[in-house]
C-alpha cells in the first residue's frame, strides 16, 4: 500500500508543475494586457480629451454660442459644464448643440462624449466684468488653430468674426470673445467687417502664422503668408477706407526660395549674415560656424524675423547650409550664400583632399531641394610649401609611432608631445604657410561618431602646436575612417589608422611669405 501511494504522488508532481506553469503564463498575459491598457489610458486619453474639448467648443462657436462664461471639466470622455448660461441660451439648447442631435441618447453626443452633465446658473455673476473697451479684438493663428480674444459690442459682431475664421478653412477656432451687450454702431460694424474680410484670408492653406489686432482707432496685422497669391489677397483685404481709422502692418512671404543667408570666411574668421525665421535656426547656423572656426572667431550678423516659423522646408534648408558651413575650416577663404533656392560655394583651399571634404558636405543641401553652384579652387603649393612638406614628411615615421591614440580618445601622450615639438620647429621655419592637421580613426563605431572623434584628435594636435606656432598657420580637419592607412581587420592596423597627418596648404591672406 505504501508503494502505491508513493507512485501516486510521483505522478501528481508533473501534473501540478504543468498547472502552475500554465497559471504563470496566464498571469503574465493578464499583466501585459493591464500594462498596455494603462499605457493607452496615460498616453492616448489626454489627446482624446483635448480633441473633444476643441471640437465641442467649435460646435458651440459655429452655433453662435459664446463660451466666455462657461467652464468645461473633462474626465476622459465625460464632460461637466459649469458656470453661467450665455445670454439667450437655454440649457436644452446648449445640450442639443453639444449633443449634435435632438434625441437625448448619450451615443449621439458630439465627437464621442459619453456623458454630459450641465451644472449652470442663469444670469451673469457679479464677479464677471467686461473690459472697459467697447471694441478690442486680438486674433492669432498658427496654421492649425485660431484664437479670438477680447471684447465686441454684440453677439452679431462676434458671430461675424467666428464665421469668417471658419470660412477661412480653420477647423479649430477658439472663441474667447466677450460681448458687452450694448447697441452696436454702424461705424464699429464696418470695422468688424474689415477685420472679418482679413480673417477670411488667414486660413491654414494661406498663412503659416498671423497676429491681428483691432480697436476703434486701428486695425493692425502681421502675417506670414505661404505664397505670393496669399500675400496679395491679404494685402487687398487690408485695404480699408474708414474715416478716422488706420490700417497698418504687413505681410512677409514664407517661401524657402526667399531664405537668404551668407557666410563669409577670410581664412580665420567667419561672418554670418542674412535672416532666419526662428531662434533654433539661428542657433543651428551659429553652432555650424563654431564647429568650423571656433566660437570666438564667428561674427554674428544674422537677424531673426519677427514672423517666427519652424516650417519643415525652412529647417531643412537651414540644415543644408549649416552642413556646408561646418566644414568651412580655417585656411579656407571664400563664401557660402543661399539666395532664391540656389546654394553657391565660392572657396579657395590648398589641397585636393580639403576640396573633396568640402564638396562632400553638399549632400544635405541636395536633399533639401537646393540647386548648387560650386566654385572650389585648389591653390597649388609654392616652392617653400614643397620644402616644408618634405621636412614634415621626414618626421612622418616618428609621428606614426608616437602620435597615436587609444580607441575612443584624443589624449596626447608625453612621447607624442615630444614629436610635436619637432613638428613645430619645422613649421616655424616657414612663417607664411598654413598646415592642415588631419585627424583619422579606425572603422570601429558609427561614421558620425568617428568623424567627431577624428576632429577632436586633430584639434588636440593643433592646440598643442599652437603653444609655439602662430595659430593662423594651423587648421584642424577630421576625416573619420574614410582614409585608412592600414587594414582595419587587425588590432595593429586599427592602431595605425588612429593617427594624424600634416599637409602644407598655401599662404594665408595677410601673412608675409
Per-residue pLDDT of the chain (513 residues; tens, 9 = 90+): 444 444 554 555 555 666 677 777 777 878 777 776 665 556 666 777 777 777 777 777 777 777 777 888 887 778 888 887 777 777 777 777 776 543 333 333 444 677 777 777 766 544 333 344 578 899 998 888 899 998 888 888 999 999 999 999 988 899 888 887 776 678 888 999 999 999 999 999 998 888 899 988 899 998 888 888 888 999 999 888 888 889 988 888 766 556 789 999 987 789 999 988 888 899 999 998 888 887 888 999 998 877 777 777 788 889 889 988 988 877 788 899 988 788 899 988 767 777 787 788 888 788 878 888 888 887 765 677 888 888 898 998 898 888 887 777 888 888 989 999 999 988 888 877 888 898 888 888 877 788 888 888 889 999 999 988 887 888 888 888 878 888 888 888 888 888 888 988 765 443 333
Pairing of strands 218-225, 145-152: unpaired
How many angstroms separate the CA atoms of 253 and 276, rounded?
Answer: 13
Could you give the 3-state DSSP secondary structure of residue 371?
A: strand
Give 246's strand partners: 218
- Short-list 369, 365, 375, CA closest to 325: 365
Show the domains of the chain with their CATH numbers: 56-121 (no CATH), 136-253 (3.40.1520.20), 258-378 (3.40.1520.20), 383-504 (3.30.1330.60)
Only one residue has cell 467666428, namely: 162
- Short-list 455, 449, 472, CA closest to 410: 455
Cβ atoms of 465 and 423 within 8 Å: the answer is yes
Q: How far is CA 262 from the centre of its chain?
A: 20
- Short-list 344, 304, 296, CA closest to 320: 344
How many angstroms separate the CA atoms of 213 and 75, rounded?
Answer: 35
Contacts of 27 (CB under 8 A, 6+ apart): none
**Sheet (strand 474-478) strand order:** 474-478, 435-439, 500-504
- Short-list 149, 135, 267, 152, CA closest to 211: 149
pLDDT on residue 428: 86
Cβ atoms of 175 and 189 within 8 Å: the answer is no
- Short-list 210, 245, 218, 68, CA closest to 150: 68
How many angstroms separate the CA atoms of 90 and 100, rounded?
Answer: 15
Contacts of 337 (CB under 8 A, 6+ apart): 260, 261, 262, 263, 343, 344
Q: Residues for the chain: how many in total?
A: 513
Query: Does the pTM exceed 0.95?
Result: no
Give 218's strand partners: 246
Q: What is the DSSP letter of 79?
A: E
Q: Which three cell numbers stand for residue 116?
A: 454630459
Contacts of 361 (CB under 8 A, 6+ apart): 323, 324, 326, 327
pLDDT on residue 311: 75
Cβ atoms of 217 and 190 within 8 Å: the answer is no
- Short-list 336, 331, 343, CA closest to 293: 331
How many angstroms separate the CA atoms of 61 and 65, rounded?
Answer: 5
How many angstroms separate the CA atoms of 364 and 301, rounded?
Answer: 24
Q: Specify the DSSP element, H or E, that contains 298.
A: strand 298-304
For residue 181, how many other CB atoms are within 10 A of its CB? 11
- Short-list 250, 240, 309, 248, CA closest to 275: 309
Give the alpha-carbon dihedral of 159, 162, 167, 172, to 10 degrees: -150
Cβ atoms of 461 and 498 within 8 Å: the answer is no
Phi/psi at 101 (5° precision) = -160, 155
Contacts of 69 (CB under 8 A, 6+ apart): 83, 84, 85, 86, 124, 125, 128
Q: Specify the DSSP element, H or E, that contains 23.
A: helix 2-62
Q: Is the dihedral of CA 467, 509, 433, 286 positive or negative?
A: positive
Amino acid at each position: 500500500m505504501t508503494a502505491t501511494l508513493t507512485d501516486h504522488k510521483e505522478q501528481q508532481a508533473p501534473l501540478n508543475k504543468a498547472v502552475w506553469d500554465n497559471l504563470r503564463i496566464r498571469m503574465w498575459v493578464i499583466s501585459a494586457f493591464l500594462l498596455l491598457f494603462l499605457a493607452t489610458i496615460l498616453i492616448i486619453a489626454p489627446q482624446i480629451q483635448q480633441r473633444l474639448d476643441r471640437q465641442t467648443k467649435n460646435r458651440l462657436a459655429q452655433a453662435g454660442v459664446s463660451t466666455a462664461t462657461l467652464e468645461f471639466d473633462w474626465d476622459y470622455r465625460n464632460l461637466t459644464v459649469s458656470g453661467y448660461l450665455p445670454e439667450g441660451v437655454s440649457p436644452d439648447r446648449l445640450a442639443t448643440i453639444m449633443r449634435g442631435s435632438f434625441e437625448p441618447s448619450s451615443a449621439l453626443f458630439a465627437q464621442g462624449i459619453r456623458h454630459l452633465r450641465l451644472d449652470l446658473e442663469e444670469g451673469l455673476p457679479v464677479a464677471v466684468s467686461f473690459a472697459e473697451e467697447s471694441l478690442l479684438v486680438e486674433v492669432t493663428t498658427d496654421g492649425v488653430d485660431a484664437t479670438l480674444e477680447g471684447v465686441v459690442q454684440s453677439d452679431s459682431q462676434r458671430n461675424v468674426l467666428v464665421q469668417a475664421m471658419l470660412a477661412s478653412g480653420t477647423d479649430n477656432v477658439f472663441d474667447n470673445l466677450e460681448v458687452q451687450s450694448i447697441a452696436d454702431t454702424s461705424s464699429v460694424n464696418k470695422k468688424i467687417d474689415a477685420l472679418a474680410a482679413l480673417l477670411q484670408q488667414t486660413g491654414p492653406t494661406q498663412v503659416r502664422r498671423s497676429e491681428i489686432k483691432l480697436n476703434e482707432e486701428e486695425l493692425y496685422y502681421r502675417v506670414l503668408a505661404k505664397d505670393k497669391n496669399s500675400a496679395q489677397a491679404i494685402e487687398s483685404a487690408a485695404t480699408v477706407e474708414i474715416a478716422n481709422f488706420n490700417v497698418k502692418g504687413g505681410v512677409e512671404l514664407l517661401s524657402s526660395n526667399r531664405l537668404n543667408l551668407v557666410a563669409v570666411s577670410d581664412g580665420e574668421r567667419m561672418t554670418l549674415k542674412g535672416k532666419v525665421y526662428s531662434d533654433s535656426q539661428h542657433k543651428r547656423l551659429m553652432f555650424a560656424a563654431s564647429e568650423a572656426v571656433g566660437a570666438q572667431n564667428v561674427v554674428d550678423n544674422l537677424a531673426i524675423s519677427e514672423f517666427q516659423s519652424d516650417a519643415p522646408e525652412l529647417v531643412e534648408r537651414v540644415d543644408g547650409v549649416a552642413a556646408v558651413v561646418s566644414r568651412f575650416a580655417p585656411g579656407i577663404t571664400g563664401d557660402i550664400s543661399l539666395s532664391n533656392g540656389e546654394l553657391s560655394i565660392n572657396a579657395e583651399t590648398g589641397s585636393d583632399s580639403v576640396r573633396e571634404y568640402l564638396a562632400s558636405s553638399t549632400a544635405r543641401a541636395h536633399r533639401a531641394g537646393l540647386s548648387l553652384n560650386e566654385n572650389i579652387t585648389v591653390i597649388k603649393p609654392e616652392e617653400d610649401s614643397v620644402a616644408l612638406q618634405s621636412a614634415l614628411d621626414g618626421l612622418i615615421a616618428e609621428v606614426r609611432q608616437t602620435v597615436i591614440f587609444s580607441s575612443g580618445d584624443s589624449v596626447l601622450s608625453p612621447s607624442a608631445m615630444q614629436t610635436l615639438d619637432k613638428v613645430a620647429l619645422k613649421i616655424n621655419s616657414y612663417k607664411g604657410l598654413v598646415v592642415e592637421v588631419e585627424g583619422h580613426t579606425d572603422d570601429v563605431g558609427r561614421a558620425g561618431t568617428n568623424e567627431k572623434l577624428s576632429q577632436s584628435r586633430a584639434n588636440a594636435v593643433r592646440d598643442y602646436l599652437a603653444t609655439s606656432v602662430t595659430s593662423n598657420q594651423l587648421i584642424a580637419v577630421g576625416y573619420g575612417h574614410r582614409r585608412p592607412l592600414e587594414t582595419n581587420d587587425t588590432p595593429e592596423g586599427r592602431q595605425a589608422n588612429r593617427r594624424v597627418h600634416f599637409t602644407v596648404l598655401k599662404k594665408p591672406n595677410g601673412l608675409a611669405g
